[in-house]
């Protein structure tokens, strides 16, 4: 046993430090296919902030990198360990500490699951909007680390829009509080916003205070549209935006993904067209019906082969469930790499066409799901297990899609983060001067370079 592991075990207790290689293997990486990882020297499962600070100080002393881990649902490799690293898993720090119904805020530990948080604050008539597709498993700490989005973000924003303050362990092992709990506050730099989306490279978040909003009425009007092509569906997305409509969700799923869900769950969704576009309005009363009808008009104008405003709430919910099931359904077919680019909404048709061209050029199958309402597209690369030539073609297509998104004024990641998979594209998007600014911030907050090194802007 190494001196570091002995020190951690003595400080935190044997039950909090895992060294069994078979157990540690399950903590070594997230769900990013093809992102490299190594075997950790230990997995630490702290129960309180002081434990986390102790781990970081020990890692600084021994010169060993440390990576934070939530539920491991990430898709960029940001939570991947390097060989000999320490993994800090926040699975035991999973308490909702306080719900303030007057201030409309909640304070939680990082291991709280997104859906569990929503369920808890709903008892107070409140709602936490960010809802990544992995909301049933992903944790608030991971959501904060990647600035996660989700289906509702087209109207309600992403994680950063709801983080008021946090407690953080810095790269020197100090514990600091950032942000505020008040409704307003402009003291100093926005260091809280800086931490959101930093992917564990600037600090380990041990407590988060989140802004909440009043619960919605619960009545949503769903519009369903099937299209013969990705480009037609993209034009419908652009038309909704051009009409000044902001739906509460607008999701795209192509036939390949629908068929995978059908084969898994027998939902019968893939028979009507090549692409399914789902949109919702959550405006109250008659306003919601009017907005839904306007969305329906946009779908019909852009050549939907079938479009309707659903009157069956159970059926509508099943359709959105199918969208959430698309990723795990495709995972059943073999290794799956998920791309994540975001383009201006007016360029969605062109970006979808570019994805189709890349699939043809590199002879690789690409499924498509998207938070289409905000231009966030998720091409899915499915490669037969063990086919190295197909894997290389898919990697080339992946990079071309990144470049196409940048050429259209977009970004290399809308919500998954940079991690290991998007470092080239991120450097290209930001440019050398801005990358250097990021590195300067990193050096200031993590002077010994122990926090998730080699990720994002290495």
pLDDT at 458 over 80: no
pLDDT at 269 over 80: no
* pLDDT for the residue 19: 97
In tens, the pLDDT along 232-259 reads 999 999 999 999 999 999 999 998 898 8
Give CATH for domain 221-407.
3.40.462.10
Phi, psi of 270 (to 5 degrees): -100, 15
pLDDT at 271 over 70: no
Tokens of 410: 């977009």
> For strand 163-169 and strand 204-211, is the pairing parallel, antiparallel, or unpaired?
antiparallel
Q: What is the DSSP letter of 450?
A: -
**Per-chain mean pLDDT for the chain:** 94
Q: Could you report how far apart the first and last alpha carbons of the chain are, in Å?
A: 30
* pLDDT for the residue 372: 93
pLDDT at 183 over 90: no
Q: Lowest mean pLDDT of 48-62, 264-278, 365-379, name the range.
A: 264-278
Please give the Cα distance from 296 to 227 (Å, whole number).
13
Q: Could you give the angle at which helices 432-445 and 423-430 cross, rounded to 10 degrees? A: 110
How large is the average pLDDT for residues 291-299? 97
In tens, the pLDDT along 303-327 reads 999 999 987 778 788 888 888 888 8
Which one is the CATH code of 96-214: 3.30.465.10, 3.40.1280.10, 3.90.580.10, 3.30.70.260?
3.30.465.10
Are 18 and 24 in contact, with CB atoms under 8 Å apart? Answer: yes
How large is the average pLDDT for residues 347-375? 95
* pTM metric for this prediction: 0.93
For residue 392, what are the CA distances in angstroms to 360, 387, 395?
Answer: 14, 9, 5
Handedness of CA 455, 344, 190, 159 (dihedral sign): negative
Q: Where are the alpha helices (DSSP H) in 65-158?
A: 114-122, 140-146, 153-156
Please give the Cα distance from 373 to 178 (Å, whole number).
32
How large is the average pLDDT for residues 110-124? 97
* pLDDT for the residue 312: 79
Residue 237: count other Cβ atoms within 10 Å of its Cβ: 27
How large is the average pLDDT for residues 62-71? 97
> For strand 204-211 and strand 306-309, is the pairing parallel, antiparallel, or unpaired?
unpaired
pLDDT at 221 over 80: yes
pLDDT band at 6; cut points 50, 70, 90: very high
pLDDT band at 1; cut points 50, 70, 90: low
pLDDT at 88 over 80: yes
Sequence ranges of the domains in the chain: 3-89, 96-214, 221-407
Phi, psi of 162 (to 5 degrees): -120, 0
Please give the Cα distance from 127 to 148 (Å, whole number).
16
Are 30 and 139 in contact, with CB atoms under 8 Å apart? Answer: no
How large is the average pLDDT for residues 77-95? 98
* pLDDT for the residue 115: 96
* pLDDT for the residue 53: 98
Please give the Cα distance from 279 to 161 (Å, whole number).
22
How large is the average pLDDT for residues 118-123? 97
In tens, the pLDDT along 199-209 reads 999 999 999 99
Residue 7: count other Cβ atoms within 10 Å of its Cβ: 18
Tokens of 413: 């990641």
Q: What is the dihedral of CA 142, 143, 146, 149, to 10 degrees?
A: 150
Which residue do the tokens 């998720």 mark? 378
pLDDT at 349 over 70: yes
* pLDDT for the residue 291: 96
In tens, the pLDDT along 420-450 reads 999 999 999 999 999 999 999 999 999 999 9
Selected residue with higher pLDDT from 277 and 327: 277
* pLDDT for the residue 385: 85
Give CATH for domain 3-89.
3.30.43.10
């Amino acid at each position: 046993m190494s001196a570091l592991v002995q020190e951690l075990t003595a400080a935190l207790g044997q039950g909090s430090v895992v060294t069994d290689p078979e157990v540690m293997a399950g903590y070594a990486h997230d769900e990013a296919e093809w992102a490299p990882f190594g075997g950790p020297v230990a997995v630490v499962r702290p129960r309180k902030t002081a434990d986390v600070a102790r781990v970081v100080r020990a890692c600084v002393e021994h010169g060993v990198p440390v990576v934070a881990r939530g539920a491991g649902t990430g898709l960029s490799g940001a939570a991947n360990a390097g060989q000999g690293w320490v993994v800090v898993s926040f699975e035991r720090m999973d308490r909702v500490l306080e719900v303030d119904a007057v201030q409309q805020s909640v304070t939680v530990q990082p291991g709280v699951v997104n859906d569990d948080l929503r369920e808890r604050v709903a008892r107070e008539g409140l709602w936490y909007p960010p809802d990544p597709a992995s909301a049933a498993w992903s944790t608030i700490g991971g959501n904060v680390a990647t600035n996660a989005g989700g289906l509702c973000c087209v109207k309600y924003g992403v994680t950063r829009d709801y983080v008021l303050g946090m407690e953080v362990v810095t790269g020197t092992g100090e514990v600091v509080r950032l942000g505020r709990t008040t409704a307003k506050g402009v003291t100093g730099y926005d260091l809280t916003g800086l931490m959101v989306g930093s992917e564990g490279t600037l600090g380990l978040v041990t407590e988060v205070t989140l802004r909440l909003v009043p619960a919605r009425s619960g009545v949503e009007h769903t519009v369903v549209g099937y299209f013969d092509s990705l480009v037609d569906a993209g034009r419908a997305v652009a038309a909704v935006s051009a009409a000044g409509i902001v739906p509460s969700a607008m999701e795209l799923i192509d036939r390949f993904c629908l068929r995978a869900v059908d084969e898994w769950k027998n939902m019968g969704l893939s028979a009507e067209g090549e692409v399914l576009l789902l949109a919702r309005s959550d405006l109250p009363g008659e306003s919601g019906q009017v907005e839904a009808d306007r969305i329906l008009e946009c779908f019909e104008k852009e050549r939907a082969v079938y479009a309707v405003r659903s009157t069956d709430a159970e059926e509508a919910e099943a359709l959105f469930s199918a969208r959430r099931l698309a990723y795990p359904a495709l995972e059943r077919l073999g290794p799956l790499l998920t791309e994540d680019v975001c383009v201006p909404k007016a360029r969605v048709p062109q970006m979808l066409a570019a994805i189709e061209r890349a699939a043809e050029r590199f002879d690789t199958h690409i499924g498509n799901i998207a938070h289409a309402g905000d231009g966030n597209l998720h091409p899915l690369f499915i490669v037969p297990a063990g086919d190295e030539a197909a894997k290389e073609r898919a990697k080339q297509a992946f990079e071309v899609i990144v470049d196409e998104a940048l050429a259209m004024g977009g970004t290399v990641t809308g919500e998954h983060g940079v991690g290991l998979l998007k470092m080239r594209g991120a450097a290209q998007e930001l440019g050398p001067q801005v990358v250097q600014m990021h590195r300067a911030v990193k050096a200031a907050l993590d002077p010994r370079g122990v926090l998730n090194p080699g990720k994002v802007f290495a």
